[in-house]
Structure 1
């Protein structure tokens, strides 16, 4: 229809019709469940009046990207371009944009839109909006139902209200994972009210866990790290943990029941949740952010809540836009960043990185240098 109208306008010598052009994009996608990436060219909608276009410089690989690529959680839309840890430079702004200018550094996290009117949106909890739009693999209710595609690509278009301002002086190579791994751990730590002197346990010491350790240590907590390998013990202590527990060594678990004020689980695989519940002191809190594949979801039974009365369990999903900006500003100001390994924007390399994440062979976050895309 658009082409027909444009041709008609040309024939009649009219200038009535004006259609914004879609934006060509290069990226990497999986075409079916698995880790086999392919170069993939697609288009994004034109920059709207309240939107900005970001040239993507770096995009992190999150463990949730693996779950999405393998269809561990829900039915996916293929081709699937993952990536919700995005950092880059603004190259175009809509006519009503006031928050960004061309040349600014900006980021995109896990959310690219929401309804703006529900109770969750009105309280800056857009991540729980019933019509929240995820950065990829999501129906975009506000753009004709198109399926969103993520940051394993060279450019993205997003509303100014869902873009994050990257502070001056930020380490661009390491800032992208803050927009998921950072906020996913910062938010529950703040919600739990962690303060100086608190006894905090971090279960799982990967991409999320090593961020949680840094935030808790920065707040003055006494942090214990739980993981399944010896390879990360020195790293945990270097980041400020006072103790490292290898859960595969039963002797290291002795005497820990009732010892913690707060435990945050970042574990993306099956595990014994009741073990951590027992480690809480009376009134202690157990926060959960790690989500394994649905077929492997661990659980707590009703009797375990009763026998461990007075302990609180809550879940947390990323954070709203305002809190994400707060986290970003705090992290850069305090020098809190993920430890990353930069990889080239290449389909085979990305697939190999996915397998390494699955096998626990990365410390701690892969980041794709999207400027190397060909």
Structure 2
């Protein structure tokens, strides 16, 4: 076994405490990664505050680092490679989704980076708020070395979540994309859509974010509480990516779709009611997406390297993880916290 140090919460709402634990010895298809940075996601916040969850919990599922050891059968990576890993570390590899490179939709449910179940020995997976992670090579990705590693980490969750629908809907020059909500997901959706050549509009409830939208690459911003402004967008978009993280009325955004347009909801994944008539007029579609599979994840990282795209982050030492969670819960972040794990090494 391999010794590691990390952080975990012993109960819901409890502060994260350092702990020493063991990672598995490498299997033939494993890669050991020394973790340099790990993003702080709303999913992590939910995991440590949800009283119905399983505890202890050791979070962290969007991270970057350097390969320190590889298994005997690994051919795609060598010691010293700069790599990135997201929130999926294994899948069945046999179903139709896995065969299509969409392991994020694995019929047997993918193995998550923490709180999942190892498909070989049945042990619980332990997250990347830690000094090291051991992961199957299929779920490790080459990281562009021209980019700030701390700012790459959130691409592995927030980034790939919005990249997949953009690519699945063939977004490029001549297409019109709306992004609802500018946060960890939305700010990257704007950057991606702009770099792909689309005409990009941001929907926001805040006047203060209008200028932020332009700085991210949006062509315009619409304040969604202004009814006249919303009415002016009727039928204006081929795709709207809804990154709003709370339950809300979808009807105003469906109205903004053009013929055969799609509203893709990625921010709030709970139950919501949709009036079918809002889909019928214009033959519109409502879809969703989450995380990403192998086929799109490396493509996204390569694209980011080529276009110098990273997340806007605030970096803090891993010892300040509780401060990051407190500020995240208060909405005090633009746009993603990232933990520097070097104080664990």
Same fold per superposition (TM over 0.5):
yes
Alpha-carbon distance in structure 2 between the residues aligned to 1:371 and 1:248: 44
Q: Which has the larger radius of gyration?
A: 1
| Conserved? CA contact 1:30–1:80, under 8 Å | yes
Report the equivalent of 1:103: 80
Query: Take 1:170 and 1:35, find their aligned partners in 2: how far apart are those partners?
Result: 35
Match of 1:4 in 2: none
Instruction: Tell me how far 1:64 sits from its aligned partner.
Output: 2.0
Determine the C-alpha separation between the residues in 2 that align with 1:359 and 1:244.
24
Task: Tell whether the 8 Å contact from 1:35 to 1:354 is kept in structure 2 after alignment.
Answer: no
Give distance in 1, aligned partners of 2:48 and 2:208: 27
Q: CA separation in 1, counterparts of 2:230 and 2:3?
A: 54
Uncovered stretches (5+) of structure 2, i.e. residues with no partner: none
2:40 maps to which residue?
61
**Equivalent position of 2:49 in the other structure:** 70
1:332 corresponds to: 305
Cross-structure match for 2:326: 355
Distance between the aligned counterparts of 2:206 and 2:322, measured in 1?
Answer: 24
Change (3 A) 1:24 1:230: farther
Tell whether the 8 Å contact from 2:88 to 2:139 is kept in structure 1 after alignment: yes
Structure 2 CA distance for aligned equivalents of residues 305 and 166 of structure 1: 40
> 24, 45, 65: which one pairs with 2:24?
45
1:253–1:153: structure 2 CA closer, same or farther, 3 Å change rule? same
1:135 lines up with 2:113 in the alignment: yes
Provide closer, same or farther for how the CA distance between residues 264 and 39 of structure 1 changes in structure 2, counting only shifts above 3 A: same
Residue 41 of structure 1 deviates from its aligned partner by 2.3
**3-state secondary structure, aligned to 1:215:** helix
CA pair 319-56 structure 1, distance change in 2 beyond 3 A:
same
2:208 is paired with a residue whose SS is coil
Q: Deviations over 1:166-201 (max 9, x none)?
A: 133232121111111111111101111112122211
Cα deviations across residues 192-249 of structure 1 (Å, max 9, x unaligned)? 1112122211011001101100111112211111122233222210122121223244
Which position in structure 2 is the counterpart of 1:23?
Answer: 2
Alpha-carbon distance in 2 for matches of 1:351, 1:299: 35
1:35 Cα offset (Å): 6.1
TM-score (norm 2): 0.94
Residue by residue over 1:102-129, the C-alpha shift from the partner in whole angstroms, topping out at 9 and shown as x without a partner, is: 1111111111011111111111111111
**C-alpha root-mean-square deviation of aligned residues, in Å?**
1.8
- Contact between 2:258 and 2:282, CA under 8 Å: does it hold in 1? no
1:272 counterpart = 2:249: yes
**Deviation per CA, 1:45-94, whole angstroms, max 9, x where unpaired?**
1111111110000001122222222338xx53211111111100111111
Aligned partner of residue 216 in structure 1, secondary structure: helix
Q: Which residue of 2 aligns with 1:364?
A: 335
Shift >6 Å, 4+ stretches: none
Q: CA deviation at 1:131?
A: 4.1
Which structure 1 residue ranges, 5 or more long, are not aligned?
1-21
Candidates 53, 58, 69, aligned match of 1:92 = 69
- Kindly provide the CA deviation profile for residues 301-354 of structure 1, in whole angstroms up to 9, marking residues without a partner as x: 344434x351011111121112101111111111111111101111xx322222
Number of the residue aligned with 1:125? 102
Matches within 5 A, 1:9-20: none
CA–CA separation in structure 1 for the residues paired with 2:14 and 2:222: 32
